[in-house]
Amino acid sequence: MEVIKGKSVFGGIVIGKIAFYKKSNEKIKRYKVDKPEEEVTRFDNAKQTALLQLDELYKKALTEVGEANAAIVQVHQMMIEDLDYLDSIKNIILTQGVNAEYAVGVTGDNFSQMFSTMEDEYMKERAADVLDISNRIVRVLNKEEDGRFKLTEPVIIAADDLAPSETIQLDKNMVLSFITRQGSTNSHTAILARTMNIPAVIGIGEELKQEYDGKYAIIDGFTGTIYIEPEENVLKEMEVKKKQDEEKKILLQKLRGQENITIDGKKINIYANIGNSTDIGAVLKNDAGGIGLFRSEFLYLEKDTFPTEDEQFAIYKYVAESMAGKKVIIRTLDIGADKQVGYFDLPLEENPALGYRAIRICLTVKDIFKTQLRALYRASAYGNIAIMFPMITSLEEVKEIKEIIQEVKAELAETGIDFKDNLELGIMIETPAAVMISDLLAKEVDFFSIGTNDLTQYTLAIDRQNPKLDKFYNPHHPAILRMIQLTADNAHKNGKWIGICGELAGDLSLTETFLKMGIDELSVSPGLVLGLRNKVRESDVSKILKNW
């Protein structure tokens, strides 16, 4: 038996056979062509076929991992249409008089190298994406299959790394687990594994050997441990752990309809985070008390141009009606940083996390902001909608937002359109600046929701997208916990409620800490709702010691 370790991405026990993901490694040959113009045409046709393949992949992703994660495929579609990328390929074909496969391969390598040397971590991640789309086009040119890894039995997929498109293409019913040599816990593939509820261990390094292909293994997704050809006693121990995990999931279903109340009588709201209306089924299935974060930017990410007021209204209305009076908190457009939308034509920035993003865009390009606000207020007549604004750093920003809202309400009233006048308005607490003036901000809004991902990033001065910084990224840092406590105290002093909608909301090791702090609401992925409810019901706040 051999034991190797990596980083846990999603918990669970898996027992099965390892299958190494096989990629096409055939070397691209360079040869001269008599008619370069015809080779350009051949490339254009291959590009269109690749786009059709990606469109099919996008539809598959919608049904399996939801609209928010399917947006990853759309990044590939946009990159294939990038003019610099296309011009480079055609220029190589025409000036060198060579075959399209070679031109695509060289361009892919050149662009990948360019991205990988950039300082910005978001742009670094595009290095793998440009290789992925280039390989896809080359396969089309060579009349190969679309690159889908064929599986005939359920297996543990092992790989150096997996591109998002490769992950989505896999037959979910045939994948027991992912294990990879490389990868960050914040990578697209890690996010997809969590969304697909597939146990995964990443960052194993060279200890994950090719010779393990076909060998029997156990994956402990809770601890990030992999047992190769396990001994009998380990197998029995893991089978018991697997059975206990499965029984726990069944027991959690019995918590549907139960209150989120501690042993000593403290209640808390447990809501769900969603990326689009297609996630509503999961929210209802897991009995969430409402929606604590609707990431409205995904309505923009999935479009080729700005979504209209009517398009947005229809989606907000559907979600509000489907939730049947339960609260639906919709965050206004939060793009920029690692969420880029091509048609916004945002400039490249050396440090986009500190740049032109979220509310800063909305308060600069006010027509876009007002269109969204009109749609939200129109939809408010059909349910219990609240609006939340991201990346707030000053009192002036909140006051300007409220002035724009008054303009929007006046326009709607003048045209006789129904809306609720007294919607709850809240802000995201994501910056140290917002924490330090939370006593002042609380006087201007109805609630706070803490975005712990960005709050941790900005407080610790750590790029959360950078895998090299994983060991320094500590969301349990006392500074973060003290900031949450300070914000909660200031909210309650002013009679306002406070929630948490970042990743920490689903961290069960902090649930009791949040209860002790007086947090009023926790919003998590739909699949985590019942587990969080169970943790709350097992807790006794009167016995929890303050330790931050």
370: tokens are 């007002």
For residue 270, which of 527, 8, 491 has the smallest C-alpha distance? Answer: 527
DSSP state letter for 339: B
Burial of 270 (0-12, 13-18, 19+ CB in 10 A): buried
Please say whether the beta carbons of 501 and 523 come within 8 A: yes
Q: Is 136 annotated as a binding residue?
A: no
For residue 21, which of 147, 184, 196, 127 has the smallest C-alpha distance? Answer: 147
Please say whether the beta carbons of 323 and 383 come within 8 A: yes
CA distance 148 to 470: 31
CA distance 521 to 179: 34
Q: Is 430 annotated as a binding residue?
A: yes
Is 492 catalytic? The answer is: no
Q: Is 331 annotated as a binding residue?
A: yes
Residue tagged 């209209």 (tokens): 308
548: tokens are 């931050």
For 303, phi then psi, to 5°, come to: -105, 160
Q: Is 533 annotated as a binding residue?
A: no
CA distance 141 to 45: 9
Q: Which of 76, 188, 476, 492 is catalytic?
A: 188
Q: Is 146 annotated as a binding residue?
A: no
Torsion angle of alpha carbons 274, 280, 286, 287, nearest 10°?
Answer: 110
Residues 6+ apart with CB under 8 A from 170: 148, 149, 151, 157
Cα–chain-centroid distance for residue 349? 21
- The beta-strand segments (E) located in 113-267 are 155-159, 175-180, 200-202, 216-220, 225-228
For residue 501, which of 545, 453, 543, 537 has the smallest C-alpha distance? Answer: 453
For 66, phi then psi, to 5°, come to: 85, 165
Alpha-helical regions (H) of 494-523: 511-517
For residue 499, which of 273, 332, 326 has the smallest C-alpha distance? Answer: 273
249: tokens are 């999931």
Is 501 catalytic? The answer is: yes
CA distance 218 to 18: 9
Q: Is 126 annotated as a binding residue?
A: no
Instruction: Report in angstroms the alpha-carbon separations of 26 from 29, 60, 113, 144, 510.
Output: 9, 28, 20, 11, 49
CA distance 61 to 175: 15
CA distance 379 to 320: 7
Please say whether the beta carbons of 11 and 222 come within 8 A: yes
The helices-and-strands tally (H runs, E runs) of the chain is 19, 16
Give binding residues for phosphoenolpyruvate as ranges: 295, 331, 453-454, 464
Residues with a known catalytic role: 188, 501
Give binding residues for Mg(2+) as ranges: 430, 454
Give binding residues as ranges: 295, 331, 430, 453-454, 464
